[in-house]
Structure 1
Protein backbone atom coordinates (compact mmCIF):
# COMPACT_ATOMS: atom_id res chain seq x y z
CA UNK A 1 0.00 0.00 0.00
CA UNK A 2 1.31 3.44 -0.87
CA UNK A 3 1.28 6.47 1.42
CA UNK A 4 -1.60 8.13 -0.43
CA UNK A 5 -3.82 5.08 0.07
CA UNK A 6 -2.88 4.84 3.76
CA UNK A 7 -3.74 8.51 4.23
CA UNK A 8 -7.04 7.97 2.44
CA UNK A 9 -7.87 5.01 4.73
CA UNK A 10 -7.67 7.19 7.83
CA UNK A 11 -9.58 10.09 6.26
CA UNK A 12 -13.31 10.81 6.60
CA UNK A 13 -13.69 10.15 2.85
CA UNK A 14 -12.87 6.47 3.41
CA UNK A 15 -15.55 5.96 6.08
CA UNK A 16 -18.37 4.83 3.72
CA UNK A 17 -16.06 2.42 1.90
CA UNK A 18 -14.69 1.03 5.18
CA UNK A 19 -18.26 0.58 6.44
CA UNK A 20 -19.17 -1.31 3.27
CA UNK A 21 -16.05 -3.46 3.63
CA UNK A 22 -16.87 -4.19 7.29
CA UNK A 23 -20.39 -5.27 6.25
CA UNK A 24 -19.02 -7.87 3.84
CA UNK A 25 -19.40 -11.42 5.20
CA UNK A 26 -16.17 -12.47 3.46
CA UNK A 27 -13.84 -9.52 2.78
CA UNK A 28 -11.43 -11.83 0.96
CA UNK A 29 -13.98 -12.86 -1.67
CA UNK A 30 -14.10 -11.76 -5.28
CA UNK A 31 -17.72 -10.68 -4.81
CA UNK A 32 -16.71 -8.32 -2.00
CA UNK A 33 -13.94 -6.84 -4.16
CA UNK A 34 -16.34 -6.35 -7.05
CA UNK A 35 -18.90 -4.60 -4.85
CA UNK A 36 -16.31 -2.24 -3.34
CA UNK A 37 -14.78 -1.44 -6.72
CA UNK A 38 -18.16 0.05 -7.63
CA UNK A 39 -17.58 2.58 -4.81
CA UNK A 40 -13.91 3.48 -5.32
CA UNK A 41 -10.70 2.60 -7.15
CA UNK A 42 -9.47 -1.01 -7.17
CA UNK A 43 -6.47 -0.09 -4.96
CA UNK A 44 -8.64 1.65 -2.37
CA UNK A 45 -11.19 -1.17 -2.44
CA UNK A 46 -8.43 -3.71 -1.77
CA UNK A 47 -7.03 -1.58 1.07
CA UNK A 48 -10.47 -1.19 2.67
CA UNK A 49 -11.17 -4.92 2.45
CA UNK A 50 -7.76 -5.71 3.94
CA UNK A 51 -8.43 -3.25 6.76
CA UNK A 52 -11.83 -4.87 7.42
CA UNK A 53 -10.25 -8.32 7.65
CA UNK A 54 -7.45 -7.08 9.94
CA UNK A 55 -9.93 -5.29 12.19
CA UNK A 56 -11.99 -8.47 12.54
CA UNK A 57 -8.92 -10.39 13.64
CA UNK A 58 -7.93 -7.61 16.05
CA UNK A 59 -11.33 -7.61 17.75
CA UNK A 60 -10.23 -10.45 20.04
CA UNK A 61 -7.43 -8.27 21.41
CA UNK A 62 -8.91 -4.76 21.20
CA UNK A 63 -12.66 -5.37 21.36
CA UNK A 64 -14.93 -2.92 19.55
CA UNK A 65 -12.11 -0.36 19.59
CA UNK A 66 -10.53 -2.32 16.72
CA UNK A 67 -13.17 -0.84 14.41
CA UNK A 68 -11.52 2.58 14.82
CA UNK A 69 -7.85 1.54 14.64
CA UNK A 70 -5.57 1.33 11.61
CA UNK A 71 -3.79 -2.00 11.16
CA UNK A 72 -1.11 -3.22 8.79
CA UNK A 73 -0.68 -6.85 7.77
CA UNK A 74 2.88 -6.85 9.16
CA UNK A 75 1.93 -5.22 12.44
CA UNK A 76 -1.04 -7.46 13.11
CA UNK A 77 1.00 -10.65 12.66
CA UNK A 78 3.85 -9.67 14.97
CA UNK A 79 4.07 -11.27 18.39
CA UNK A 80 3.86 -8.91 21.34
CA UNK A 81 7.10 -7.21 22.32
CA UNK A 82 9.24 -9.02 24.85
CA UNK A 83 9.13 -7.46 28.31
CA UNK A 84 12.05 -5.31 29.30
CA UNK A 85 14.56 -6.90 31.70
CA UNK A 86 13.69 -4.07 34.09
CA UNK A 87 9.95 -4.53 33.78
CA UNK A 88 8.24 -4.68 37.14
CA UNK A 89 11.28 -3.44 39.07
CA UNK A 90 11.10 0.33 39.37
CA UNK A 91 14.37 1.96 40.30
CA UNK A 92 16.54 -1.01 39.42
CA UNK A 93 19.75 -0.27 37.55
CA UNK A 94 19.86 -0.86 33.80
CA UNK A 95 21.10 -4.29 32.71
CA UNK A 96 24.68 -4.68 31.56
Structure 2
Protein backbone atom coordinates (compact mmCIF):
# COMPACT_ATOMS: atom_id res chain seq x y z
CA UNK A 1 0.00 0.00 0.00
CA UNK A 2 2.87 2.39 0.73
CA UNK A 3 4.21 1.95 -2.80
CA UNK A 4 0.79 2.81 -4.24
CA UNK A 5 0.58 5.95 -2.12
CA UNK A 6 4.06 7.00 -3.21
CA UNK A 7 3.17 6.49 -6.86
CA UNK A 8 -0.04 8.49 -6.42
CA UNK A 9 1.88 11.33 -4.80
CA UNK A 10 4.57 11.27 -7.50
CA UNK A 11 1.94 11.21 -10.24
CA UNK A 12 0.09 14.11 -8.66
CA UNK A 13 3.34 16.06 -8.38
CA UNK A 14 4.14 15.48 -12.06
CA UNK A 15 0.65 16.50 -13.16
CA UNK A 16 0.71 19.54 -10.88
CA UNK A 17 4.09 20.65 -12.19
CA UNK A 18 3.11 20.21 -15.83
CA UNK A 19 -0.34 21.70 -15.39
CA UNK A 20 1.00 24.80 -13.69
CA UNK A 21 3.53 25.52 -16.44
CA UNK A 22 0.96 24.89 -19.18
CA UNK A 23 -1.76 26.94 -17.46
CA UNK A 24 0.40 29.97 -16.61
CA UNK A 25 0.39 31.58 -20.10
CA UNK A 26 -3.33 30.88 -20.45
CA UNK A 27 -4.10 32.51 -17.12
CA UNK A 28 -1.83 35.48 -17.88
CA UNK A 29 -3.64 36.07 -21.16
CA UNK A 30 -7.05 35.67 -19.57
CA UNK A 31 -6.35 38.41 -17.03
CA UNK A 32 -4.88 40.75 -19.65
CA UNK A 33 -1.13 40.14 -19.80
CA UNK A 34 -0.87 39.35 -23.54
CA UNK A 35 1.95 39.02 -26.04
CA UNK A 36 1.04 42.50 -27.34
CA UNK A 37 1.19 44.04 -23.86
CA UNK A 38 -1.47 44.77 -21.28
CA UNK A 39 -4.95 44.53 -22.78
CA UNK A 40 -7.06 47.69 -22.45
CA UNK A 41 -9.96 47.36 -20.04
CA UNK A 42 -8.61 44.16 -18.48
CA UNK A 43 -7.92 43.32 -14.88
CA UNK A 44 -4.20 43.69 -15.69
CA UNK A 45 -4.82 47.22 -16.98
CA UNK A 46 -6.62 48.17 -13.76
CA UNK A 47 -3.79 46.73 -11.68
CA UNK A 48 -1.18 48.50 -13.81
CA UNK A 49 -3.02 51.81 -13.42
CA UNK A 50 -3.32 51.43 -9.65
CA UNK A 51 0.37 50.52 -9.40
CA UNK A 52 1.40 53.53 -11.47
CA UNK A 53 -0.73 55.89 -9.38
CA UNK A 54 0.68 54.46 -6.14
CA UNK A 55 4.23 54.83 -7.45
CA UNK A 56 3.80 58.43 -8.57
CA UNK A 57 3.07 57.98 -12.26
CA UNK A 58 4.98 54.99 -13.58
CA UNK A 59 5.15 51.26 -12.96
CA UNK A 60 8.34 50.44 -11.05
CA UNK A 61 10.76 48.02 -12.65
CA UNK A 62 10.72 44.69 -10.86
CA UNK A 63 7.18 45.17 -9.52
CA UNK A 64 4.71 42.31 -9.85
CA UNK A 65 2.91 44.13 -12.66
CA UNK A 66 6.17 44.66 -14.56
CA UNK A 67 7.23 41.03 -14.14
CA UNK A 68 3.84 39.70 -15.26
CA UNK A 69 3.78 42.09 -18.23
CA UNK A 70 7.18 40.79 -19.26
CA UNK A 71 6.07 37.19 -18.84
CA UNK A 72 2.92 37.83 -20.87
CA UNK A 73 4.84 39.51 -23.67
CA UNK A 74 7.90 37.30 -23.83
CA UNK A 75 6.79 34.04 -22.37
CA UNK A 76 8.05 32.34 -19.27
CA UNK A 77 11.78 31.99 -18.88
CA UNK A 78 13.45 28.83 -17.65
CA UNK A 79 13.76 30.13 -14.10
CA UNK A 80 10.09 31.11 -13.85
CA UNK A 81 8.98 27.84 -15.45
CA UNK A 82 11.08 25.87 -12.96
CA UNK A 83 9.67 27.85 -10.04
CA UNK A 84 6.09 27.33 -11.25
CA UNK A 85 6.70 23.62 -11.82
CA UNK A 86 8.18 23.20 -8.35
CA UNK A 87 5.35 25.08 -6.69
CA UNK A 88 2.60 23.34 -8.65
CA UNK A 89 4.18 19.95 -8.09
CA UNK A 90 4.60 20.51 -4.36
CA UNK A 91 1.01 21.68 -3.92
CA UNK A 92 -0.40 18.77 -5.91
CA UNK A 93 1.76 16.23 -4.05
CA UNK A 94 0.71 17.72 -0.72
CA UNK A 95 -2.96 17.52 -1.66
CA UNK A 96 -2.56 13.94 -2.87
CA UNK A 97 -0.90 12.97 0.41
CA UNK A 98 -3.72 14.55 2.41
CA UNK A 99 -6.53 13.09 0.33
TM-score (norm 1): 0.29
Q: Which has the higher contact order (CA 8 A, sep 6+)?
A: 2
Say which structure is richer in helix. 2
